[in-house]
Chains A and B, each alone.
Chain A
């Protein structure tokens, strides 16, 4: 829904009374996307029907109550998938009706639609398999995979909102993972490792700041070169230094963050073990998403940061120090990305390995854009991409007919469609990537 008002200044005064019109437009984009998704799933079910049942592992035994037999629910695969598709079709019709009435399809309904689509797909993919589809693990591991993506996306959002493009998320993640592993191993303390990783992330951000803000080098170039530099530095030090004494320098197996169960919450079926029985970094992530949102939209710092990203000259005119504000934002962003990088070696893996971030920095960048430079939506995009990446490994275990490479491709294709304006609209901060020169200096 949109409103376009006629600019009064374009109407001459002697042409009669000024008419303010509100023009409303119908947007059928959401409904069309839902229709296409529903049709594709139905086509899949028609073209490749599968036999047997799908075993969903719903509960693990520690929850308030158990669902199914030993936590396992076996559903007839194809009928269940068809039921899901039928409900999706109804939701699609609702979306068309709402758009006809100029109303918006609510966000929660889109979420329900997405859940149904995933359930239908999983039911179809797991049909007849001997193994169980562990729903708890599916969600829980997706959270773990998504940690660097969410922190990376948060850092990216802060930097770009302040007008500094951060292509170097990959470099910050990798440097933080490296530093976290070395310091965590040497001190045998995950918290010290985390602190060092935060400093490492901010350190890489400081290099970005020096070149992008002070020396006004093209930000995209600095970011790309920084990625090459940090991949080189970490791999060099890994080969020439860490590998000489892996036990002492690069072994966080016994010093990693343990899972912490939150009382009561962790016993809720499905989401309890998946979301509330996790290492402390996951809880930091929940808090960080909310904190970044609050800081950007509800504090003076956030207003100033967004101002220098949208219109630095105006911000300068009202007395905001543009480059100092950008510096602070870049450093904070680097520190936040550093937490995500630490998760590689202090949560997910027992040691650092060369190029272990494997392009996740670029996926985080994709999440920033897909999330339209908004911290919450970017984090959700990070979670979505984490889910898709994790789904691929789950499907390869139960033997799915979809080639894993196409699942891995998904985040990138979705982002391409997003930046091309086919899925949602993306609009970068106006002064994103433009260095600011203070006049008279």
Chain B
């Protein structure tokens, strides 16, 4: 049986309400957060274990030594040791402190690179986290970043005569507007037509990608004049984010903006009435509706704010990271990394800050591993996604490391309490009889 149109739409919305049990995402996060440090450490160990196996498997010396393993096993283990040592020492030297560098400046430059990398990652993670809090999922970070790059880039190349500080601010605000509009479009589709936000944002990613490709390939739009390659002109100096420690270090004001964004999100989610409404919708949409919250408007607002935060990441890329002209790969996969950052950070602004720093360090160290040890940088995304997978399934990690399951802990506590009670009773009885 089919129904007529308006009915069909309201019915599908109704269906969404009915089929999504309240706090569906919340349950997932409670599980993750309930994991505690034991599970987090276990997840890290497991992820690095798998990463190490992959590094060992592809290391030429290790494979050669493995071919005569039974004749001389010590060769195999020394090759394995040097492969692992080389990989992880370059991971640390590339991300935190390079003790092999000749000058002190060069020694601390990896740490500054880590901070530089983490700026866009933190913003993207915050953007995804905000939607998680409202019971929604924004996987359209790529599209929102690309639209932000279009807006910010267009303002950067198109208005070269603006004064230095104003130009930068105009570009950032323009980029935020672009991403917020693209995010709000997804929210609008979800709120007004019942389209699933995951599908809508995935599709909008591709629409944005091809839109940008069209702009890049068409002379007179965003293509660099005089070039036939799909690349924009360089970002003018007046629109670039100022570098914090001189030209030789890439760290720019983007990191400070990311810190401000963390503070803003903390305020938004923990102190503002808007954030309270977001969380109310996320915990129980129907209850929020009954309480008088306009859930449709909240969905659109959440997606606009999320898009704005991802746009910040996109603007940082154009105005800080890639200033020599950008291509359709300007998002650098950060839109998707933002999802893993948000998950790892438990959707809490401060957690996202640390998760972003960790992933920024992975990115910096991964480049060093690739350059020095010929280990492809993709090992980083493997390890990152494994960490998130394992953290998302605490019972699995507990089972692997024989950590006590929470239910067992509770049962044991109960049993202990019972035993103590019984003992006390018995003691009391004894006393009485005595």
* Residue ID in chain B nearest A29 by CB atoms: B5
Establish whether residues B395 and A233, one from each chain, have CB atoms under 8 Å apart when the complex forms.
no
Check A405–B210 contact: CB distance below 8 A.
yes
Q: How far is the CA of A416 from the CA of B195 in the complex (A)?
A: 8
* Contact A419:B210 (CB < 8 A) given known A215-B395, A236-B382: no
A10 to chain B, nearest CB (A): 17
Contact call B207/A409, Cβ cutoff below 8 A: yes
Q: Which of A72-80, A258-266, A298-306, A358-366 participates in binding chain B? A: A358-366
Docked Cα-Cα span, A403 to B217, in Å, equals: 9
Q: B2, B12, B18, B343: which contacts A2 (Cβ < 8 A)?
A: B2
Asked whether A9 is an interface residue with its Cβ less than 8 Å from the other chain, the reply is: no
Q: What is the minimal beta-carbon distance from B362 to any residue of chain A, in angstroms?
A: 12
Nearest-neighbor residue (CB-CB) of A240 within chain B:
B58
**B284 within 8 A of partner (CB):** no
Chain B residues in 8 Å Cβ range of A211: 389, 392-393, 396
Closest to B193 in A: A420
Closest Cβ of chain A: how far from B125's Cβ, in Å?
14
**Contacting pair B386 A229 (CB below 8 A):** yes
The interface residues of chain B lying within 8 Å CB-to-CB of A240 are: 58, 374-376
Q: A235-B376, A416-B189 are in contact. Are A229 and B389 (CB under 8 A)?
A: yes
B213 part of interface (Cβ distance < 8 Å)? yes
Q: Which residues of the partner chain B approach A416 to less than 8 Å between Cβ atoms?
A: 189, 195, 200, 203-204, 207
Chain B 174-197: CB-based contact to A (< 8 A → 1; otherwise 0)? 000000000000000100011110
B103-143, CB under 8 A of A: which get 1 and which 0?
00000000000000000000000000000000001010000
Interface pair A235/B378, CB less than 8 Å apart: yes
Q: Does A31 contact B (CB under 8 A)?
A: no
- When the two chains form the complex, which single residue of A232, A239, A421 contacts B194, counting CB atoms closer than 8 Å? A421
Is A228 a contact partner of B393 (Cβ separation < 8 A)? no
Question: A residues within 8 A CB of B48?
Answer: none
Which residue in chain A gives the minimum CB-CB distance to B328? A405
Report whether B393 and A415 are in contact in the complex, using a CB–CB cutoff of 8 Å: no
Bound together, the chains give a CA A425 to CA B195 distance in angstroms of 11
Which of B19-27, B158-166, B249-257 makes up part of the contact surface? B19-27
The contact string, 1 if C-beta is below 8 Å from chain B, for chain A 7-22, is: 0000000000000000
A412 with B198: CB separation less than 8 A: no
* A231–B199 touching, CB < 8 Å: no
Interface contact A228-B336, CB-CB below 8 Å = yes
- Among the 9-residue stretches A50-58, A124-132, A196-204, A428-436, the one with 4 or more Cβ atoms under 8 Å from chain B is A428-436
Chain A contact residue count (CB 8 A cutoff): 57
The answer for the CA separation of A240 and B40 in the assembled complex, in Å, is 29
Q: Which B residues between 1 and 28 are near A, CB-CB below 8 angstroms?
A: 1-5, 8-9, 12, 15, 18-21, 24-25, 28
- Interface assignment of B238: CB less than 8 Å from any CB of chain A: no
For window 162-192 of A, CB contacts with B under 8 Å fall at 167
Q: Is the CB of B381 closer than 8 A to any CB of chain A? A: yes
- A408 CB within 8 Å of chain B: yes
Contact flag A412-B203 (CB < 8 Å), given A215-B395, A224-B339: yes
Shortest distance between the CB of B387 and any CB in chain A (Å): 10
Q: Within 8 Å CB of A233, what residues of B?
A: 54, 378, 382
Are A425 and B8 in contact (CB-based, < 8 A)? yes
List of A residues within 8 angstroms of B293 by Cβ = none
Chain B residues contacting A154 (CB-CB under 8 Å) are: none
The answer, yes or no, to whether B206 is at the interface (CB within 8 Å) is yes
Within 8 A of B (CB), among A222-260: 222, 224-226, 228-229, 231-233, 235-237, 239-241, 244
Residues 202-224 of A at the B interface (beta carbon under 8 Å): 210-211, 215, 217-218, 220-222, 224
Give the Cβ gap from A165 to chain B, nearest Cβ, in Å: 8
| Cβ–Cβ < 8 Å partners of A226 in chain B | 385, 389
Asked if B214 CB lies within 8 Å of chain A CBs, one says yes
Residue of A nearest to B186 (CB): A416
User: Is A4 in the interface zone, CB < 8 Å from B?
Assistant: yes
| B324 contacts the other chain (CB 8 A) | no
Q: Is the CB of B381 within 8 A of A232?
A: yes
Q: Which residues of A contact B381 (CB under 8 A)?
A: 228-229, 231-232
Q: Whole-angstrom distance between the alpha carbons of A233 and B389 in the complex?
A: 14
CB distance from A163 to the nearest CB of B (A): 10
CA gap between A217 and B1 in the complex, in Å: 34
For A220, give its contact among B1, B5, B198 (CB under 8 Å): B198
Say whether B211 faces chain A, with CB atoms less than 8 Å apart.
Answer: yes
A239 to B381 CA separation, bound complex (whole angstroms): 14
Q: B181 to chain A: closest CB distance in Å?
A: 15
Kindly state the separation between the CA atoms of A319 and B97 in the bound complex, as whole angstroms.
60
Q: A345-381: which have CB < 8 Å to B?
A: 359, 362, 365-366, 369
B298 within 8 A of A: no
Given contacts A218-B24, A233-B54, A359-B206, contact A405 B382 (CB under 8 A): no
Are A229 and B12 touching (Cβ within 8 A)?
no
Q: Which residues of A contact B199 (CB under 8 A)?
A: 365-366, 369, 415, 419
* A27 at the binding interface (Cβ < 8 Å): yes
Whether the pair A221, B28 counts as a contact (CB closer than 8 A) is yes
CA A163 to CA B16, docked complex, whole Å: 14
A291 to chain B, nearest CB (A): 27
CB of B224 closer than 8 Å to a CB of A: no
A3 within 8 A of B: yes
Asked if B340 lies at the interface with its beta carbon under 8 angstroms from chain A, I say yes
B348 at the interface (CB under 8 A from A): no
Contact indicator B389/A222 (Cβ below 8 Å): yes
Report if B74 contacts A (CB, 8 A): no
- The answer to whether the Cβ of A427 comes within 8 Å of any Cβ in the partner chain is yes
B66 interface residue (CB < 8 Å to A): no
Pairs A–B under 8 Å by Cβ, sample size 15: A1-B2, A217-B31, A217-B392, A225-B339, A229-B386, A235-B378, A236-B58, A239-B376, A240-B376, A365-B199, A403-B214, A408-B213, A412-B207, A419-B200, A419-B203
Complex A-B, nearest 8 residue pairs according to Cβ-Cβ distance, in ascending order: A240-B58, A232-B381, A239-B376, A419-B195, A405-B214, A229-B385, A215-B393, A232-B382
User: Apart from A220-B139, A415-B203, what are 20 other A-B pairs with CB-CB below 8 Å?
Assistant: A2-B3, A215-B392, A217-B31, A218-B28, A220-B137, A222-B389, A225-B385, A228-B384, A231-B381, A232-B382, A237-B54, A239-B376, A403-B214, A405-B211, A416-B203, A421-B194, A425-B2, A428-B19, A434-B19, A434-B24
